[in-house]
Structures are given as structure tokens and as C-alpha cells.
Chain A
Amino acid sequence: MTARSATFALLAFFAATFAFFCVAAPRFATASNMENLMSGFSFVAILAIGQSFPILLRGIDLSVGAIVALAGMIVFDLELIFHLPGPVILVAALAAATLAGALNGWMVVRLKLQPFIATLATLAAYRGLVYSISGRQLVPGLSTTPIRNPWITGLETYFDLGTTLGLSDWVTLPWFPLGFFVMLAVLAAFHFLLGSTRFGRSLYTVGGNPEAARLAGIDTGRVTLAAYAMSGFCAGLAALLLVARLTTATEALGTGMEMSAIAAAVIGGVSLAGGIGSVIGPVIGAFLLGTILIGLTLLGISQYVQQILTGAILLAAVGYDRILVVRRRRRLEANLAEETRA
């Protein structure tokens, strides 16, 4: 099964799940629920896109949740304490998140730390940094002030595409949140980057076989650094969408989100063995996760059962990935055997 047909299989599974909940869960197939799904999981999809880069390199980024909090708190401080202009705030938050990701990459490349440990250490360190720059604690009374800067809250705009396109006479379409389009833009940009640029090819090569990539003259260090920086950038973007939605930032923002991001990426067919995967898969993975969680909630199934199911889905996804890997290896061995015989 090729990567492309694996994506189609995932898409088919997503469609089946979606159809199931449309029939089985009350109020699932409504416009307002679709708005929930799109605005509630677009940022998970963005985190999952970011997470695929370290995983493509056989790494992992556990610190994305803490980076989300860091970027969120920077927005909070710059807006409510320093009253900087909107564009400056957006750029500063994204830059800080990208830098935090690059620092992860630097530790992996230069200090030769294992990605798991490096990002584990920064998970604690970045979260600590969030507490120490928290405007909620530095300036009393600020914690109840909402963020009103239109540059930031504007990210939580909804578009009535149905009326614009003249379709609303026929069906009730959901209003599309801006975050959804941001996610699509990220998806398109990174899909192009991975599929059609030299950098993308290097990334797959380094992930597939780092030693071969090095011998082929690829600067593996730079590729690795960039991969972690991109994961940080995506976390920053997700933070902007979250802050726009909540109109505030807290120290605990993004806690545990690495779990959803990793799960969505792995469900989306990014192989933990490195070198295999796309950014479309993780997006489908994120919305599959969202469909299942929202659907189960509408079915009245407890949140605790959902936790068990999330774990089970994750296990099933890696199990499936494992089956593909084994099958690929067998086919390779069979081919080799045939060639030797011939």
C-alpha cells in the first residue's frame, strides 16, 4: 500500500465515522456543530502538521503544549501591559514560538540530546518561563481583562460562505471560522514545502536514513533544526487561534496538547520509523479525532470513556502503522530474494 492509498484509506475511514455520527448522534449533522468541529480542531490540526516534521525525522516534540502557552502569554503581555500594535504582537508571538522550537532543534543537533529528553526538558523550562512572564501575576487585576485588539480577536471571525455563494437557499451551511482557513493555508504551504522543494526531499531522506543523507551531502543538522523550528512555529500559530477564541491566555494553556498532536500525526500515517508520511494525513487525523470526541459527547458518552477510546485509537493507529512496516519489509526481502535467485 503506497502512502497515497493509505491517505485515501484514512479519508474513507473518516467519511465512514462522520457518516455514522451523522446518523447515530443527535444534533451532530447541524451547522452549529460543524462550526464547533472546525473551530475546535483547526488548531489541533495545525499542531499535528507541526508535529509531523520531528516525527518524520524519527524524533518527537513533547514541548508543543508549553510553546502554545508561551506564545499565548506573550500575546497577553504585549497587548495588555505594553499595548503594542496588533501586527507587532502577532509577529513577536510567532517569532518566539519559532525560536523556542529552534532551541529544541539546537539541543538535538548540537548537544546530541535525544529528542524525547530535549523536549521533555524544555516542556518544563518553557512552562516555567510562562509562569515567570505571566502578566496575570505581574500586574494585579489584569487577569480578568479580556484581549480586545481586533488584530487578535479578528482571528475568531466566521464567514457565511453559504450566503456569499448563494447556497443558503438550498441548505444551511455552517459559518466557516477564519482559523479553518489559516489551517488550510498552513496545510497548503507545508504540503508544497514537503512535496515540491529540495528541503522537503532532504527531510524525507534524513528521516529515512540519516547516515545515507549525510553521505549524500545533506546538511542533516540544518534540516533537523528547521524541522523543530517549524513545529514551534505551528505551536505559535495554534496559540494565536486559541487566544483569539478565549480572548485571554492562561499559564496552563495547551497542557497535554502534545498528546492530541502526536496522536493525530500518527493516526494520519506519519510513521514513527521516520521518512514516511504527509501533512494531509495529520489534518485528517486531527478531524477524525475531533469527529469521534464530539460525536461521543453528543451520544452522551462520558468524558472518561472518551479518554479510554482516545488511547485505544492511538494504539490502533500505531498497530496499523506497524502492519504496514512489516509488510513493506517482507516485500523488500522477497524482492531481494528473487533478485539473488535471478
Chain B
Amino acid sequence: MTALVPTLGRRLAPHALPLAMFAIVVAFAISEPAFLKPDNLIGIVRQVAITGIMAVGMTFVIMTGGIDLSVGPVLALSGVIAWFSLDAGAPLLVGIAAGLSVGLVVGVLNGLIIARIELPPIIVTLAMLSMVRGAALIIGGPDLHQIRGQEAYAAIGSGNFLGLPISVHLFALVTLLMIFVQKATPLGLLVAAIGENERAARLSGHRTRLTKTALYAICGVGAAIAGIVQSSQVHTASATYGEFGTELDVIASVVLGGTSLMGGNGSIARTILGVMFLGIMNNGMNILNVPIDIQLIAKGAIIALSLALSEAKG
């Protein structure tokens, strides 16, 4: 076992995820041909759009060795705030901006505490998870709030444009934007530098603290966008959305994409691969009527296995 795993792992690791994805697609397609129908494939992308947008936002944070556990409640609070603004008669853009500002504020707070006071990201964002959830429940209460008479807002989550759901367009847009940031802007380089060696980056004169704060802000805004997509998709806002486990799916997607929790390696494009992998798994197991307990076990096993493989590479 000990001798086998490294050699096998070293050879397979870089391609493990695409290979596994291919194998799963083939398996699902054989056992249920409906899986390959264009409608189902578009449906998968639509289903993963919410998690996907959050995962894209969190990739940079994880690349710097950080983590953000507070995305679930941020998703909820952003939807609730957008609902309140729209309900009070605010124009569409103001409502959306109000929702997004929730993510910005929480993200900046996370970032300041983590970058300035240097507290551990796990605990800071765990505390923030509790605090934002409490705030969302105080503002919105435990009830569902129906979003009525807001066609334009509802279109974000359920409308179509050029034959594809608007949420899919949004997902693609966010992804392309972040790939651009990673490949073609100084911020992208700086993220990699901090992930490789934060001290070296700081000593060579980079503003690492400001950068890290910005990354948590981006992550928060990503969660807020997801919150708006979700609330418009189901026509309701609730303080209980983004329940415990949401953040785990997001983190799993990023990590499955090959971003190391120790920081350093990682890319937005590969995160998309991780997102799609989990999406295909969930969709395929649902189509095949795999019970929820086996789905949970399989998910845990796959995350552990694929990470053990990529660990063997290093």
C-alpha cells in the first residue's frame, strides 16, 4: 500500500480529476441515457451555478492558505436584504446593490480581522458564520418571504437568454472575469506570491494585508451574488438559506479542483472542473435514485480519496 500509492499517485495525480470525471460520465450515460440529453446537461450547470459562483470567489482565499466558512449565512442575508429593499419599493439595481453590499461588508470584516490582527481564518469565519446567521435571523425572522411582482428580479434566477438560463450566463461571466483577474492582472500574481510565501511577498514590498482583505471581500461578494441568484430562482428569501453544509460543498469544489489548503497552487479554471465534478456526481446519483445516505458517504469518500492522491503527488 505505502509503496503503491506514491508511484500510482504521482503518475495519475495531474489528470486524476478529468479522468475520474470522464469515467463517471460514461458510467452514468450507460446506465441512464437520459443523462446525456442537452436539457439535463444544461440543468447540471444551472444547478451548480450557485455553488460555482461561491467556489470561484473562494479560490483566491484558499490559494493564500485561508478559508471562508461564513459564505452560507452571507448567501441568506444578501437575499433577505435584497428582498427588503425591493419590498420597500427600491429600484431593481438598488436592491441588488444592497444585497451585494452585505457580502462586501462581511468579507472586508473577515479580511481585516484575518490580515490585520492575524487571527486564524477558520475560527474567524466560524465566528462570523454564527454572527451573520444571527443577524440574518434578527432581520428576516425564521419565515420565508415571497418575492412578488418583481419580474426583472425573478428573471435573474429563472429567465432565459440566448437559449441558456441567465444564472448560467452569470456563472460564466463571473468565472471569465476571475480567470482574467488571475491571468492578466497584478492581483492574480500577488495571490500566487502570497500563497507561495507570504513573508517573502511582504518583505519584497507587496501590500499583502490589503490584498488578503480584498480577497475575502471578493469571496463575500461571490456569496452575495449566489444569494441573489438563489432567492430569485425560488422566488423567496429566507434567513435560513445556505444552511450548514453549503460552505463545505464550496470548499470541496475548490479543493477537488486541485487548490491546496496550504496555499500556493490553484486556478479558477480548475475550480470549475471541481464544481462540475461534484455537480455531475450529484445529478447522476439523483437520476439513478441513489439514496441520500449513500450520496453523503460517496461524497466524503471521493473528497478524501482524490485529495490523498494529489497529496501523494507532492
Contact = CB atoms under 8 A, between A and B. Distances in A.
Interface stretch (B81-89, B128-136, B163-171): B128-136
Interface in B98-124: 113, 117-120, 122-124
A312 B127 contact: yes
22 contacts: A118-B304, A120-B252, A122-B300, A125-B296, A125-B301, A128-B292, A131-B292, A262-B123, A266-B123, A272-B122, A272-B123, A307-B133, A307-B137, A308-B131, A309-B134, A310-B134, A311-B126, A311-B128, A315-B123, A318-B119, A319-B119, A322-B117
Interface in B214-246: 244-245
Contacts of B67: 116
| Interface residue range, chain B | 35 or more
B9 to A, nearest CB: 10
Contacts of B307: 111, 113, 117, 121
A272 B120 CA distance: 8
B308 interface: yes
Given A114-B262, A262-B126, A310-B130, A128 B248 contact: no
Interface of B: 67, 113, 117-120, 122-124, 126-131, 133-135, 137-138, 244-245, 248, 251-252, 255, 261-262, 291-301, 303-304, 307-308, 311-312
Nearest to A120: B248
A292 B95 CA distance: 37
A129 B138 contact: no
B218 to A, nearest CB: 21
Given A318-B123, A322-B118, A311 B304 contact: no
Interface stretch (A18-26, A148-156, A177-185, A298-306): A298-306
A127 interface: yes
A255 interface: yes
Contacts of A90: none
Nearest to B128: A311
Contacts of B124: 315, 318
Contacts of B137: 303-304, 307
A319 B126 contact: no
Contact residues of A: prevailing secondary structure: helix
A125 B297 contact: yes
B255 A117 contact: yes
A137 B252 CA distance: 29
Interface of A: 60, 107, 111-114, 116-118, 120-132, 134, 255-256, 259, 262, 266, 272, 302-312, 314-315, 318-319, 322
Nearest to B247: A120
Contacts of A312: 127, 131
A132 B294 CA distance: 7
A123 B123 contact: no
A305 B67 CA distance: 25
Nearest to A251: B293
A287 to B, nearest CB: 19
A120 B67 CA distance: 13
B261 A116 contact: yes
Which one of A111, A128, A262, A305 has the greatest number of beta carbons of chain B within 10 Å? A128
Given A131-B293, A318-B119, 19 more contacts: A112-B311, A112-B312, A113-B307, A114-B261, A117-B303, A120-B303, A124-B248, A124-B299, A131-B291, A132-B293, A272-B122, A307-B133, A307-B137, A308-B131, A310-B134, A314-B126, A314-B130, A315-B124, A322-B117
Contacts of B255: 117
Which 9 pairs show the lowest CB-CB distances between chains A and B?
A128-B296, A125-B300, A307-B134, A131-B293, A311-B131, A311-B130, A132-B293, A308-B134, A128-B297
Given A112-B308, A114-B261, A121-B301, A132 B291 contact: yes
A259 B126 contact: yes
Contacts of B296: 124-125, 127-128, 131
A114 B255 CA distance: 11
Nearest to A313: B127
